[in-house]
């Protein structure tokens, strides 16, 4: 299954690179074109003008834990919004390894893993310096391996379980189709703010 995902990603990446843009719709069926681009097409603008539009990429990610939402942002504009599942103990910042809390703070999206136990994963740069200092002060191990990821490759529960509750060990989980959009729309080292 992992090899199939990698092949799909490589084909999609090649297609996007050759076209210089992201597709109008994707697996989720939601429009991926900016509203201005769709309006130009409806107004009868020529195809060359539309194709010259820059790729739709986020310049930062915001997660609002209390809303269970992840936002892909470009400046002050929300490009996409997704429902997320958090750690099993979602209230408050992550304090130590094994507490099943999702961190709170300012991080970056770093390493990407197309072969993880989940449908794609992007690592969050937790712990940052502030997290390390707090852990040292309290004589705790801060933990790590916090990711944004899709569903488990091998579901251990019914699919509805993952849709309706927090179920991770502290990561940020989204649907597989949402994970693919996030993967494609976030460049390396995109800042991510995880808020209460």
Q: What is the pLDDT of residues 15-44, one digit of tens each?
A: 454 444 444 333 333 333 344 444 434 444
Going from N- to C-terminal start, the domains of the chain cover 57-195
Q: Does 163 have pLDDT greater than 50?
A: yes
Mean residue pLDDT across the chain: 81
The Cα–Cα gap between 116 and 30 comes to 26
What kind of fold does domain 57-195 have according to CATH? L,D-transpeptidase catalytic domain-like (2.40.440)
Label residue 16 exposed, middle or buried (CB < 10 Å: 0-12, 13-18, 19+).
middle
Between 160 and 42, name the one with better pLDDT: 160
């Amino acid at each position: 299954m992992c090899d199939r995902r990698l092949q799909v990603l490589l084909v999609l990446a090649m297609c996007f690179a050759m076209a210089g843009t992201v597709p109008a719709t994707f697996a989720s069926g939601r429009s991926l074109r900016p509203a201005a681009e769709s309006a130009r097409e409806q107004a009868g603008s020529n195809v060359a003008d539309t194709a010259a539009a820059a790729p739709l990429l986020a310049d930062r990610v915001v997660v609002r834990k209390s809303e269970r939402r992840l936002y892909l942002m470009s400046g002050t504009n929300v490009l996409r919004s997704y429902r997320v599942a958090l750690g099993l103990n979602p209230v408050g910042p992550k304090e130590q390894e094994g507490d099943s809390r999702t961190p709170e703070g300012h991080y970056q999206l770093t390493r990407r893993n197309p072969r993880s136990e989940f449908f794609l994963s992007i690592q969050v740069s937790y712990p940052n310096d502030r997290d390390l200092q707090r852990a040292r002060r309290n004589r705790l191990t801060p933990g790590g391996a916090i990711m944004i990821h899709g569903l488990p490759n091998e579901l251990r529960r019914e699919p509805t379980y993952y849709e309706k509750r927090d179920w991770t060990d502290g990561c940020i989980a989204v649907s597989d189709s949402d994970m693919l959009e996030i993967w494609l729309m976030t460049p390396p080292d995109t800042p991510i703010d995880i808020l209460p």
